[in-house]
Amino acid sequence: MNYISILCGLFAFTCGSWVFLLRIKNQARKLKKLEAMKGLFGTAAGNIIHSLFYIIMPIMFGCIATYLGIKGVSIF
């Protein structure tokens, strides 16, 4: 087991999940970068870009890093 990989994976998963929960609960005012992306790219594209980079990618990275850490692989 590689504990650093597991901790990094769990941290990334938690961050992505937290942003997802904030968006579900309509507390987007806490997500300042979402508003900036909406202003820069438009509402639809801003939502897609923010979801991709702040929800989907951290959750995927977190799952993969945690899995690799349990298998004993170092991601660093």
**pLDDT band per the 50, 70, 90 thresholds, residue 54:** very high
The answer to whether residue 76 scores a pLDDT higher than 90 is no
- DSSP letter for each residue of 47-70: HHHHHIIIIIHHHHHHHHHHHHHH
**pLDDT band per the 50, 70, 90 thresholds, residue 30:** confident
H or E stretch including 9? Answer: helix 3-24
Q: Would you state the pLDDT for residue 5?
A: 96
Better-scored residue on pLDDT, 35 or 15: 15
Average pLDDT, the chain: 94
Backbone angles phi, psi at 69, to 5 degrees: -65, -40
Q: Note the pLDDT tens digit of each residue in 59-68.
A: 999 999 999 9
Dihedral-angle region of residue 72 (phi above 0 means left; psi in -120 to 50 means alpha; beta otherwise):
left
